């Protein structure tokens, strides 16, 4: 069996961090299994779906490195849905219902008021021909429901949650088609999963009850059901479901200077028993991905944890991976020198300006003036090679007796204008003799 997973966003908005995690996990499982990862745009809502959102979804997945092996759009598949719908109608598995949304809402409130589950009572199945004709005469068009089989429980073994069991009598027959003929999510998704050969459906735990009804749809259409895995939803760092998570997407992460590999490293294992570690290469994440590592406890997303992980990732990035994002003139040696002080790659520009100048050096303390003048004389006469920092500080220590902070800090301040920064042994050769002498003279 070739493993086939799918990521099926609706192009009615931008991807958020929860969507990204679902896409990543589907991609990881397909890659680990040597299978295929498909992108399906669930754009049956023609009014709200936008081409620019579809383009943004593709661009986000590309930036994240989640390359897909095939793409479908539901708006291209309406003829297939119509054909399967007619087959279900002929088999008596879908039926028309004429209640208005206001009438259904009132019934739900009455049931809840009585302490009963708000399950649809199938009143539409008891309508007479005359009642249907009267509704039609009023101008009411029916919506359509899938008729659940009440004679047997719905059971499946979830790859994360274990055995799941639902009594279909406690579920409402789901509405699958609106009165205007447009499709809701449930049935087209099943038809597509069958037609696309999807073997594994990995999604959030908020879809568990949907899965129960969709399992009967697979059966009614004569198809085997795929494997299902429902993972715990993300919560905010404060431990509650956070609206902010819905606003955190690729655009936000890119603007913050975060790396795609940092996002993948965090989200791949968030909610699992595995340690979250920085990975520049995706292969270890692919090899170690396993549904058995995920539990039902809430998965807490902490942006501060992502920022810290990103810093570790940046410190691992080779020059070749960032060369096209670095300032003009910044070579591999400069990257190696500056990289340990960076939180984001974009921060390299700030340090490169320290190298290339000009800088604003702080006022020199009176006791350091002669010391810096001596440093200027030593630097003027010394061979300016890769060991120049060691040569300079060694000679200054011998002549002045200074050591530690008293030796190094005045030099760093004069040469960079800062009290901290990259290793001066690597930075001084980048600054160069002429510029270093000018800064010491100033």
* Model confidence pLDDT, tens digit, residues 139-183: 999 999 999 999 999 999 999 999 999 999 999 999 999 999 999
**pLDDT (mean) for 221-229:** 97
Contact (CB, 8 A) for 315 and 340? yes
Cα-based torsion angle of the residue sequence 401, 403, 409, 415 in order, rounded to the nearest 10 degrees: 60
Q: What percent of the chain has pLDDT over 90?
A: 94
Average pLDDT of the segment spanning 36-57:
96
pLDDT band at 246 (very low <50, low <70, confident <90, very high): confident
Binding site for ATP, by residue number, is 243
In this predicted structure, the answer to whether residue 441 has a pLDDT above a threshold of 70 is yes
Model confidence pLDDT, tens digit, residues 83-100: 999 999 999 999 999 999
Q: Do residues 321 and 280 lie in contact, with contact meaning Cβ atoms separated by under 8 Å?
A: yes
Specify the fold of 4-78+189-233. Answer: Rossmann fold (3.40.50)
- Domain spans, the chain: 4-78+189-233, 80-177, 243-314, 319-356, 366-441
Instruction: Evaluate whether the domain defined by 80-177 bears CATH number 3.90.800.10.
Output: yes
pLDDT at 1: 84
What local confidence, expressed as pLDDT, does residue 362 receive? 87
Q: What are phi and psi of 305, to 5 degrees?
A: -65, -40
| Cα 254 to Cα 272: distance, rounded to the nearest angstrom | 25
CB 433 within 8 A of CB 384: yes
Q: Quick one: pLDDT at residue 247?
A: 80
- 243-314, CATH topology level: 1.10.1160
Compute the average pLDDT of residues 229-245.
80
Please report the pLDDT score of residue 243 as a whole number: 66
The whole-angstrom separation of Cα 72 and Cα 65 is 19
Query: In whole angstroms, how far apart are CA 184 and each of 225, 301, 418?
Result: 20, 30, 61
- The annotated binding site is made up of 243
Topology given in CATH for the domain delimited by 366-441? Arc Repressor Mutant, subunit A (1.10.10)
Which DSSP helix (H) or strand (E) runs through 4?
strand 4-7
Q: What is the pLDDT of residues 309-344, one digit of tens each?
A: 999 999 999 999 999 999 999 999 999 999 999 999
């Amino acid at each position: 069996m070739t493993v086939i997973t799918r990521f099926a966003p609706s192009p009615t908005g931008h991807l958020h961090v929860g969507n990204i995690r679902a896409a990543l996990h589907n991609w990881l499982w397909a890659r680990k299994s040597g299978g295929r990862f498909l992108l399906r745009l669930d754009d049956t809502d023609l009014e709200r779906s936008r081409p620019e959102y579809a383009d943004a979804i593709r661009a986000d997945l590309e930036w994240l490195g989640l390359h897909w092996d095939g793409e479908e759009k539901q708006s291209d598949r309406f003829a297939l849905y119509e054909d399967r719908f007619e087959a279900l109608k002929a088999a008596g598995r879908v039926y028309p219902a004429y209640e208005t949304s206001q009438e259904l809402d009132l019934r739900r409130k009455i049931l809840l008021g009585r302490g009963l589950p708000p399950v649809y009572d199938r009143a539409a199945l008891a309508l007479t021909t005359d009642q249907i004709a009267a509704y039609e005469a009023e101008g009411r068009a029916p919506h359509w429901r899938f008729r659940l089989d009440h004679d047997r429980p719905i059971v499946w073994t979830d790859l994360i949650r274990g055995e799941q069991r639902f009594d279909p009598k406690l579920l409402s027959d789901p509405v699958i088609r609106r009165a205007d003929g447009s499709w809701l999510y449930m049935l087209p998704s099943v038809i597509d999963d069958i037609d696309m050969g999807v073997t594994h459906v990995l999604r959030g735990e908020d879809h568990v009850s949907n899965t129960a009804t969709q399992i009967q749809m697979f059966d009614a259409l004569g198809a085997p059901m795929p494997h299902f895995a429902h993972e715990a939803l993300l919560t905010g760092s404060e431990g509650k479901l956070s609206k902010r998570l819905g606003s955190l997407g690729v655009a936000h992460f890119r603007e913050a200077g975060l790396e795609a590999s940092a996002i993948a490293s965090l989200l791949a294992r968030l909610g699992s028993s595995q340690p979250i570690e920085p990975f520049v290469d995706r292969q270890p994440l692919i090899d170690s991905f396993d549904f058995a590592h995920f539990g039902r406890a809430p998965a807490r997303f902490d942006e501060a944890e992502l920022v810290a992980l990103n810093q570790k990732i940046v410190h691992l990035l080779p020059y070749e991976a960032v060369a096209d994002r670095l300032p003009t003139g910044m070579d591999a040696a400069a990257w190696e020198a500056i990289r340990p002080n960076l939180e984001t790659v974009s921060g390299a520009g700030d340090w490169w300006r320290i190298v290339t100048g000009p800088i604003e050096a702080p006022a020199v303390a009176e006791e350091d003036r002669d010391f810096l003048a001596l440093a200027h004389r030593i630097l003027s006469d010394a061979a300016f090679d890769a060991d120049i920092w060691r040569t300079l500080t060694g000679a200054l220590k011998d002549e002045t007796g200074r050591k530690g902070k008293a030796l190094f800090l005045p030099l760093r301040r004069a040469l960079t204008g800062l009290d901290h920064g990259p290793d001066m042994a690597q930075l001084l050769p980048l600054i160069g003799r002429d510029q270093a002498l000018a800064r010491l003279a100033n």
